[in-house]
Structures are given as C-alpha cells and as structure tokens.
C-alpha cells in the first residue's frame, strides 16, 4: 500500500474509533439521564456504561458533563424531528401544524426521554436562555415554514408570521413543560391539546 494511502487509512480508522466512542458516550448518558436524571448521574457511571475506559475519553470529546448533556438533548430533539417526519400527516399545512404541535404534547406525556431530558432537566441544566435557543433551533423553522405554507393556501389570514411562529413555539413549550411536570401527564396533555386547538383555530381564516 502506498505510504500516503496508508496514512489516510490509519487516519480514517482513528476518526471512526473516535466517532464510535463519542456515540457510545452519548448513548450511555442518554440511558442514565432518563433513568436517574442529570444531577444524580456521575461521570464515572457514564464512562462505565459506555465501556470507553476512563473519564479521559469523556473529556476528550466533551468539555464537561453539561456539554455531554447538551449533546444528548440535541439527539433527543433530532429523533423527535425524524419521528415527526415519518408519521403520516393530514393534507394541508395548517392541519400538519396542528398535528405536529399535538404530537409534541403527546411526547411530553408519554416519552420518558422527552419528559426527563428535554423538559425537566433541560431548562435546569442549560439555563432558560440556552434551552430556549435550542428549542428555537429545532422548532421555530418548522413552525414558520408551515405558517408560510398555510398562508399561501389561504388557511390563515395575512399577519406577521415571524412573531406568530415565536408565540406558537413559546405556547407549545410552556404547555409541554406543564404536561411533563404534571402528576397526571395524560390528563394534562388532553387539556393542553384542547387549548392549543382553540388557539390555532383563532388564527385560521
């Protein structure tokens, strides 16, 4: 094998091992954070669960435990978006918006990952501003795009869509926090979905 190709092959293997280690740490932390919560989970437990040797491997990939938590939270957000994309949706952008917001509230009631990582530990670990910034990164664009399409379809009246998207995102986030922290998440979810439907119908054409 030519020397240059050999160097590239070794570098590729190192990169693959590094990515595998990072993925193992995220997967292990995700399981433990769901089971025990962020604050009751130690870095030693995460390293042992991931099977990556010492805490040096963790700190090679993440500045600290909070940085690892953020990576876990973003993995949960990405999986939510993927699941939403694979779910059959009704025709029309407005109906899809309504279904998507209701689906997030359902996840807040039924998914332990969404409850513990995204809605209970998320604001406490990252701080409100950083948590909201992540929610905007993953949710605001989708809401805005559906509102723009709904406007073009005549499903909603002409109005400032940027502020409307922000209001809807804030409303569904607050509703999801209410659901996740309720002693009866299913009942809380039903209340939240009904209220969200009324809010959406108020802006429909």
CA angle centred on 33, ends 52 and 74, rounded to 5°: 85
The C-alpha atoms of residue 14 and residue 55 are separated, in whole angstroms, by: 19
Query: Tokens at residue 126, please?
Result: 């990252």
DSSP conformational letter for 42? -
Q: Where are the domains of the chain?
A: 1-62, 64-205
92: left (phi over 0), alpha (psi -120 to 50) or beta: left
Instruction: Map residue 36 onto helix, strand or coil.
Output: helix
Average pLDDT over residues 168-193: 96
The C-alpha atoms of residue 149 and residue 94 are separated, in whole angstroms, by: 8
**pLDDT greater than 70 at residue 5:** no
**pLDDT greater than 80 at residue 86:** no
Tell me the CATH number of domain 64-205, given options 1.20.1110.10, 3.90.870.10, 1.10.357.10, 3.40.50.150: 1.10.357.10
Cα within 13 Å of Cα(142), Cβ side: 20
- Please tell me the predicted confidence (pLDDT) of residue 192: 97
**pLDDT greater than 70 at residue 4:** no
Average pLDDT over residues 95-121: 95
The CATH H-level (homologous superfamily) assignment of domain 1-62 is Homeodomain-like (1.10.10.60)
Question: How far lies 144's CA from each of 7, 103, 117, in Å?
Answer: 47, 17, 25
């Amino acid at each position: 094998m030519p020397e240059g190709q050999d160097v590239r092959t070794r570098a590729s293997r190192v990169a693959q091992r590094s990515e595998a280690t990072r993925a193992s740490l995220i997967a292990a932390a995700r399981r433990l954070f769901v089971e025990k919560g962020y604050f009751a989970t130690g870095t030693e437990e995460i390293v042992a669960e991931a099977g990556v040797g010492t805490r040096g491997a963790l700190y090679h990939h993440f500045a600290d435990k909070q940085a690892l938590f953020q990576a876990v939270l973003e993995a949960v957000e990405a999986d939510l978006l993927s699941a939403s994309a694979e779910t059959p949706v009704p025709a029309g952008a407005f109906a899809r918006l309504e279904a998507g917001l209701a689906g997030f509230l359902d996840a807040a009631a039924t998914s332990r990952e969404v409850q513990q990582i995204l809605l209970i530990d998320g604001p406490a670990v990252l701080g409100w501003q950083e948590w909201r910034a992540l929610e905007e990164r993953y949710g605001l664009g989708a809401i805005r795009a559906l509102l723009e399409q709904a406007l073009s379809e005549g499903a909603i009246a002409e109005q400032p869509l940027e502020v409307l998207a922000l209001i809807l995102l804030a409303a569904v986030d607050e509703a999801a926090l209410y659901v996740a922290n309720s002693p009866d998440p299913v009942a809380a979810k039903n209340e939240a979905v009904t209220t969200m439907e009324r809010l959406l119908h108020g802006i429909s054409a």
